Structure 1
Amino acid sequence: MAQRGLIYAMALAGMVGCGSIGNLLEPDRVEYKSAGKAPSLEIPPDLTQLQRENRYAIPEANRGTATASGYTMQQSARPAATTTVAPASSADMRIERAGNQRWLVVKQAPEVLWPQIKDFWQDSGFLLVQETPQAGIMETDWAENRAKIPQDFIRNALGKALDSLYSTGERDKFRTRLERAADGSTEIYISHRGMQEVLVGAQKESTTWTPRPADPELEAEFLSRLMARIGSEEVRAKATVANAIAQPSRAKLVKSANGGYVEVDEGFDRAWRRVGLALDRVGFTVEDRDRTQGLYFVRYVDPDTDQKQNDKGFFSKLFTFGSNSDKAKTAPRYRVSVKGAGTSSQVAILNNDGRPETSQTADRILSLLNEQLK
């Protein structure tokens, strides 16, 4: 019996050997699997999912639904089936960088790039929960990077049959923003938000999801992959993103009697785009924007407004922040003002009536923006 067991063990090792070698050759793989489900596979409302699976579900209130109006917008943004879109050449793409923010500039119109970017995210293992072609925004569902799961002997031996038992304890989501430039090209911004599962309680008997900082390198990875998808060679795309010249810090927090502001050492056009990316990264709910007036209309969930909520409720509020959740929709509304003054710009916080906001909440928002704009 011992000999037979040894033979079985050797056979299992042989079957998984090739996969293990592949993993060693690609230690930094990115392989995402959405934490959500496709609309056609959602569990009916009268059924309850097993408790074992609930641990891995992100506590987000709104998962995105398919509507007739959404379908109409999607079809209007997609080119006709008979249209052939020529891939962009490497000469038509470049990476720009300011601080730890990078973005892709492509010499094509947003209408041409939109369906390509949508297919890119879906082929990368994500579900899309927000698609707004008019605003140039699409957002993925929370997803797990399965490549971070250790490829040990036991998991390889079991194969994919029990793969759902493994979890990294981390989830990521990405928002893509398309901005039309004056010369007809498109600026593409990818912002990351992350969450991680941590133990809580006196005996560490339960877990809760807490925010992780945005990962600029993960954003850069997907920018390079998007470049390759649009038309650049993969090696060239990775080198272009990696070698983008980093700029010195261009933002500082200034205190004043009117509540303070963030001074950005850039003109209005660049500052406007970077503020939009900063709001995406932090997770603000951007309800509207008026570029002519230099205003973003946002909602902000202040964690200090309800001192009686427990830790789980606190983190759940942060988790749904920036989504289409009820909490985000009813949160206080503010205006983020961007005013250019020659080669510099000022970013200030106004209340819903357009007057300067001098509360601690405004100071907190300015600190968050300043950290992203450095």
Structure 2
Amino acid sequence: MSVLATGLLTSACTSTFSGDTIDYKSAGEKKGPNLAFPPDMTAMGGDKRYVVPDGGATLSGYSTAVQTKPTGKETVLPAVSGMKIERDGNRRWLVVSKPAKDLYPSVREFWQETGFILLTDSPETGIMETDWAENRAKIPQDIIRRTIGKVFDSLYSTGERDKFRTRLEVNSKGETEVYITHRGASEELTGTDKSQTVWANRPNDPELEAEFLARLMQRLGYTETAARASVGQKSTVAANAPSRLKKDKQPRLEFASNFDRAWREVGVGLDRSNFTVEDRDRSKGIYYVRFVNTNDLSPESKSFFSNLFSKTSADDLKKAKRYRVHVKDVEGNVTVTVQDEKGANELGETAVQILTLLDQQVGR
């Protein structure tokens, strides 16, 4: 049975998941360094630190753990003290009153226990990213598969792959914020006779992100009922921060929002667009990222299939340049611009590329 044929038999991803509807199997076989990068991503450095609370130091200057205590009794759910879900529109993230360096090992074990291989595992930056994996629970349990599936299970495929990035940040209160972002790919028919298949991006799934947040909460001590109730609570904010892309003399994103929301939206946008964030300085409103201009890539690396499941060449990795994504609030007007490594404004095509990728994610 072909990969795509079986994939077409599967049902669409729903907004509610349960224990028997998620069964991930990673495409890899062993742990290792991240060697597969889309055009806008390259390898992550290992000499950084978590975001610091208010102050002038950069992420890489953070050297001591922030010790905090729970701020009071849990009045909404009789669950674990010092852990809660925050929500802004369809954005959800976990807030834990625990130092990031102490929380990180538990989050790592959670992904490994769920069936994923971590290709990026960086305690120093607070970022981990899974390999592309398939949710085997989405394969129909027809009579043929029930009969021979145990022997020929590799013949069956959903035609879909998922990967997840987890980012731990320390906020101004000394709490650790945990963000989980999803990227998806699906196998699609191509060619004049529709006899070939290619892998293409599919939209991220906020509800799948929420499901894994709920499961992580259970891993950290919540009951299943309490975790799902917490994740399912409605947001007090109606929608995410909308943005407008301007491509004039100074390319920029304009936010109808405050700095805190814009900073969070840009961070999630960078995660979902698969940028490499090497450092970040909230006090200055700067994300330090690496980006590869697609015009600088070899023809082979421009292929989405090769970028999705194959190694990017060493020459292409060398073409990744450092940039600054600058979030600035001037009297309630929040703008996001791109700067070069030294802090000079980028005014050309690269700035538009980076901002366009962000605009496709933020406020969604």
**Higher normalized contact order (CA 8 Å, seq sep 6+, divided by chain length):** 2
TM-score w.r.t. the length of structure 1 is 0.72
Q: What is the CA distance between 1:252 and its match in structure 2?
A: 2.1
Task: Say whether the 8 Å CA contact 1:142–1:172 is kept in structure 2.
Answer: yes
Structure 1 CA distance for aligned equivalents of residues 89 and 351 of structure 2: 23
Q: What is the CA distance between 1:289 and its match in structure 2?
A: 2.9
Matched residue of 2:303: which SS?
helix
Task: Say whether the 8 Å CA contact 2:245–2:359 is kept in structure 1.
Answer: no
Equivalent in the alignment of 2:70 = none
Matched residue of 1:29: which SS?
coil
| 1:327-352: CA deviation from partner (whole Å, max 9, x where unpaired) | 35523443211123355532111234
Equivalent in the alignment of 1:164 = 154
Structure 2 CA distance for aligned equivalents of residues 213 and 256 of structure 1: 25
Structure 1 CA distance for aligned equivalents of residues 245 and 132 of structure 2: 36
Structure having the higher helix fraction is: 1
Structure 2 CA distance for aligned equivalents of residues 318 and 247 of structure 1: 36
Structure 2 CA distance for aligned equivalents of residues 199 and 365 of structure 1: 29
Equivalent in the alignment of 2:275 = 284
Equivalent in the alignment of 1:226 = 216
Corresponding letter in the other structure for 2:279: D
State yes or no: 1:112 paired with 2:102: yes
Where do residues 165-184 of structure 1 align in structure 2 (5 Å cutoff)? 165-184=155-174
Number of positions where the alignment pairs a residue of Structure 1 with one of Structure 2: 308
Q: What is the CA distance between 1:247 and its match in structure 2?
A: 3.0
Corresponding letter in the other structure for 2:181: S
TM-score w.r.t. the length of structure 2 is 0.74
Equivalent in the alignment of 1:33 = 25
Matched residue of 1:372: which SS?
coil
Unaligned runs of 5+ in 1: 1-24, 41-58, 63-68, 71-87
Task: Say whether the 8 Å CA contact 2:27–2:132 is kept in structure 1.
Answer: yes
Structure 2 CA distance for aligned equivalents of residues 152 and 303 of structure 1: 43
* Bigger Cα displacement from structure 2, 164-173 vs 332-341: 332-341
Unaligned runs of 5+ in 2: 1-16, 39-45, 48-77
Q: Residue 367 of structure 1 is aligned with which of 337, 345, 356?
A: 356
Q: Percent identity at matched positions?
A: 47
Closer/same/farther in 2, CA of residues 193 and 126 from structure 1, 3 Å limit: same
Max radius of gyration: which structure?
1
Equivalent in the alignment of 1:128 = 118
Q: Residue 142 of structure 1 is aligned with which of 102, 126, 132?
A: 132
Q: What is the CA distance between 1:256 and its match in structure 2?
A: 7.0
Matched residue of 1:293: which SS?
coil
Matched residue of 2:343: which SS?
coil
Equivalent in the alignment of 1:12 = none
Closer/same/farther in 2, CA of residues 316 and 157 from structure 1, 3 Å limit: closer
Where do residues 1-374 of structure 1 align in structure 2 (5 Å cutoff)? 29-39=21-31, 60=36, 89-245=79-235, 246-253=237-244, 255=246, 257-303=248-294, 309=299, 313-316=302-305, 319=308, 326=314, 327-341=316-330, 343=332, 345-374=334-363
